[in-house]
Each structure stands twice: as structure tokens, then as C-alpha cells.
Amino acid sequence: MSNRPITMLIAALGGEGGGVLTNWLIEVADRSGWLCQSTSLAGVAQRTGATIYYLEFIRREDAGADPVLSLFPSQGDIDIAVTSEIAEAGRMLSRGFVSPKRTTLISSDHRVFGITEKSAITDGAIDTPMLIELAERYSKRFVSFNVDTLVKRHGTVISAGLLGAIAGAGVLPFDKAIFAEIVAGNGASTANMAAFEDSFLTAQRHDGIPLEGDEPAPFILPEPSSELGATLLPQIAALPPAIHEVCYHGAQRLVDYQDLSYAQQFLVRVVRLVERDSAAGHYELTSEAARWLALWMAFEDVPRVAQLKLRPEREASIREEVKAAPNQLLKVTEFFHPRVEEVAAMLPTPIGRWLVNSAISRRLLTAVLGPRKLRTDTIATQLVLRGLASVRHWRRATLGFYLEHQMIDRWFNAVIGASDDALALALADCGRMVKGYGATRHRTTTQLMAIIGGVEGGGVSTSEQVRKLYSAAMTQPDDQLFQIALSPPNKSFMV
């Protein structure tokens, strides 16, 4: 047998137990009569990179008196690469650590989105199917399934699931019983053992091939469990089944955002889309337009932001993120930057217009506003947030609601009145342009209204023109490319 060491690279995000997984593997190797040397390179916080652990395994009888093992991974020299989510597998591929002649790649196929993905103007998410295809193509063997969902089902972290995947894939010459002994003897044994066993069996029968049950089940409308449900669910059930899911979630969001009648207003518009759409296309236009319509109708004004910050589940999410114990005091400081426009948006339409148009009032209000940090865990701030959240009860009379719905109506009518189905779908997809807040939101809505203006004025008449303008608007955070795309002969329709 060759005395060459087995090389392994592990990439895990903060809080996922990458260090624990490494220690487990070292202990498994030791009990199996092998030596293991490990080193690690810490990643950066806020999901800009994972911590990398590098391990080398060698039999004691092959090691000699003074074995020389490397502290650094080398491109093309990795036998086993393990990643805690699929984008990290992509990183390993791009850095040359995964070889089609040598490397077994083991990865969870779920996603944890990075900062650049979350902050992108348009959809900045990495193409997961493309990553999986590349992993299958450029690794010698690819073992992948949703380890994150598996371990959450057992109430533990992903390290136990990854250890089970490594053992189940048979990439290390160690007995399963030794893996199990290590897991059982290291705290939280019941949850960890259950996740280890489940992951072990899944990895044994799964080499990059979708398992039965991996595909999501078709959406089925639930039975009404409240008076609201008894009112809304029959209205949704009367629509084509292909759009039940988007309509259900959209109506649910809008009831939470405002009230029952607001959700019914959304469903009335969906009916108009269905009448405009074609069953032959599986109601693609309705599905896309309804999705962006629901999101836009639930625009995040100050009352909505306050409402979301008061949710009990938000505190639970923060506690989980920072790994706070249930009885541990938690102080939460948040950054706010209120602007004159956002204050005016909460006021009745005539007063809000006066405030925006009054130079003196704007200067006075600007002097007391501006960026600030607030402790949102204090009673005083919680009371202020509750007061702001209550503004939603008269939201329909506010300037912000009036202005948003002017734009919503204009976009929706353009979709309904489009000259052909391709143009209607392109305009519907433009609904995704509306995002962000402050200057970003002003820019994106202004650009969308410019596109709608072009359609209304006849300067834009094809889906290709709309998609070109959309792409220009979303390519850069400034307006330069969009203005070039909007230059003559289309300049006349700017609004």
C-alpha cells in the first residue's frame, strides 16, 4: 500500500462546527491507528468566506519516526473536499482544489447567500444548478444532498451531518463504528447521533443523483382555519391551480401588511391577469406579474419596518444568529436614517405634499433627522416602534400610499394593455426593479416609470426593447447605462 497521505479540505461557515468536525476526524484517525495533522485558515465574517481546514492522514506504520506532512493544500493534490454549502464547492472548484482525476467532492446542496448576492441591484444569487453541474463534471465523484435540512430535522448543526456524509461516502479507511463512538461521546449525543446516522445512510445511496422525495411536492391549498381563510381561500381556489401558490402567499402577505380588503384588491387584479393570460403558457404571465404585484403592494414604508422589527420571531432569529442562550441578556443596537420623504409619506396626502414642497419645513426637519443608532431592546424604543406600526391603520390616506399606488396602477395597466404576450411578460418582469429604499428606491421606480412612459408613448413597443432597458437599469447602481439605452429616439418618453 502507498505511504502517501490522504489529503482532505473542509470549508465551513462560522457557527457550523467546522472546528468540531475537524477534531472528530482527528480523533477517529487516532483510534484507527492513523496520524492526522490539521491546520486552519479563518474566514471573514458576514458570509464573505468560509474557514478552511486542511487535514492529512497517514498510517502510523507508514509514517516513520518523523513524518513530514504539509500545512497547506496544493491545487490538484486534494483527495477529499468537503463543503458545508454548494457555493463553497464552487469556490473549491475555482481555486483548483477539485480534480476530476482525484477528488471526491462532498457538499450540502443548500445555499447561504453572501453579501454580494444580497446587495446586488437585481438577482445576484449564484446559479445553483450550474454549480452542481460543474461539481459533477470536474470532480472524480460528487456526493451531494441537503445536509442542512437533514440536521435541522434532528435539531443539531451541520457538522454532525457532514461527518455522517464523510463516513457514508466511504472516502476514509475507518470503520463506521469508530465514527459513531466519537459522535456519541461528544455531547448532544442523541441529536448528533440521529443526524450522523441519517446522513450516513443518505450518502451511501446518493452520488449527486436526486433522491426520491427531493423534488418539492405540488402545492395544495390548505383548509380554512379562520374566518379570514374561509373568505379568501375559496376566491383563490376559483383561480387556475398553476397560480394557487403565488396567490396564497401573496394574499397572506397582504392581510398581514394591511387587512382583508387589501388582499382582496390583489386577487381582483389577479383575475384581470388571468383573463389577459393564456392557459397554454401555464399562466406564466399571471404568475410573474402576481408575484411582483404582491411584493410591491406590501412596500416597506416606515410603519411596515416598525411592524417587522416588533415581531417575536425576529428576536428569536437574532438570538439564533449570535448563538445567545435562552436566559442570556441581549442588547440590540440598530442603525436608522430617517429622511424627510419618509416622514412625509406617513402624513395625510395634502400635509405630506406641503411638507415635501416647503423648503423651510424641509430644512427644519432635516436638522433633526439624519443617521442615528437606537437600542431597539429598550422599552422606550419599543413604544415608539409600536406607535409607528399603528400608522398602518390609516395608511390608505397617506401620501406614500397614494404615490406608490399611482405607480403600481400605471405598471399594472401597462402589463394588461400590452400589445402582445411577450411584451406583457417583459413588463411584468420589470416589477422586480422596485427594491431598496431611499435614493435606490427612487432611482429604480423612476427608471421603471420611464420604461412605462416609453410603452405609453409608443417609443418602446417590443419585449426586446423593454428587456434591454431593464438590463441597463440593473447593470450599474448609477443611471449612466440606462440613460444611454434611453437616448434618442426614445428620449422623449422620460417622465
In the prediction, which pLDDT does 494 show?
45
Residue 187 lies in a domain: yes
Kindly state the cell numbers that stand for 24: 472528530
Residues 29 and 163 grouped into a single domain: yes
DSSP category for residue 50? P
Residue 16 lies in a domain: yes
Q: Quick: pLDDT tens for 171-185.
A: 999 999 999 988 887
Q: Could you list the residue range(s) of the whole structural domain that residue 178 is in?
A: 6-204
Whether 233 maps to a domain, the answer reads: yes
The identity of residue 46, as a single letter, is Q
More confident position, 122 or 414? 414
The CA distance from 357 to 351, in Å, is: 10
- Binned at pLDDT 50, 70 and 90, residue 313 comes out as confident
SS3 316: helix
For the record, the C-alpha cell of 490 comes out as: 426614445
Please tell me the distance from the alpha carbon of residue 273 to that of residue 243, in angstroms, as a whole number: 11
Do 75 and 135 fall within a single domain? yes
Same domain, 226 and 367: no
Q: How far is CA 2 from CA 62, 63, 72, 399, in A?
A: 8, 11, 21, 76
pLDDT band at 477 (very low <50, low <70, confident <90, very high): low
Block residue for cell numbers 448609477: 478
- Of the given ranges (83-97, 402-416, 475-489), which has the lowest mean pLDDT? 475-489
Is 462 part of a structural domain of the chain? yes
Domain shared by 64 and 191, yes or no: yes
What is the 8-class DSSP label of residue 188?
S
Cβ–Cβ under 8 Å, residues 411 and 433: no
In a domain? residue 406: no
Tell me if 36 is assigned to some domain. Answer: yes
> Does 363 lie in the same domain as 432?
no
Same domain for 330 and 478? no
Q: Give percent above pLDDT 70 in the chain.
A: 90
- Which pLDDT belongs to residue 246? 94
Domain end position, chosen among 266, 298, 330: 298
* Judgement on whether residues 256 and 153 belong to the same structural domain of the protein: no
Say if 149 falls within a structural domain: yes
Q: How large is the average pLDDT for residues 293-318?
A: 88
Beta strands in 251-371 (DSSP E): 333-336
Q: Mark which of 350, 368, 400 sits at the end of a domain.
A: 400
Query: How many other C-beta atoms can be found within 10 angstroms of the C-beta atom of residue 354?
Result: 14
Are the CB atoms for 35 and 62 separated by under 8 Å?
no
Q: Are residues 181 and 247 in the same domain?
A: no
**Which of 231, 265, 298 is the endpoint of a domain?**
298
pTM over 0.75: no
The values of phi and psi at residue 325, to 5°, are -70, 155
Which residues lie below 8 Å from residue 146, measured CB to CB, with a gap of 6+? 108, 109, 110, 214
For the cut 60, the answer to whether the pLDDT of residue 54 exceeds it is yes
* Residue 412 within any structural domain of the chain: no
Residue 364 and residue 358: Cα distance in Å, rounded? Answer: 10
User: Over 70: is that where the pLDDT of 45 sits?
Assistant: no
Lowest mean pLDDT among 15-24, 205-214, 264-273, 468-477: 205-214
122-134 pLDDT, tens digit per residue, is 667 778 888 888 9
Residue 135 sits in a domain whose CATH number is 3.40.920.10
Strands 34-41 and 51-59: antiparallel
Residue 47 sits in the same domain as residue 118: yes
Same domain, 432 and 494: yes
Q: What is the pLDDT of residues 132-160, one digit of tens each?
A: 889 899 999 999 999 998 988 888 888 99
What is the DSSP-derived secondary structure letter of residue 35?
E
pLDDT at residue 489 greater than cutoff 60? no
Question: Which residue carries 453541474 as its cell?
Answer: 133
165 with 64, same domain: the answer is yes
What pLDDT does residue 196 have? Answer: 92
Q: What is the model's pLDDT at position 3?
A: 73
76 and 10 inside one domain: yes
The pLDDT assigned to 187 comes to: 55
Q: How many domains does the chain have?
A: 4
In angstroms, the first-to-last Cα distance of the chain is 76
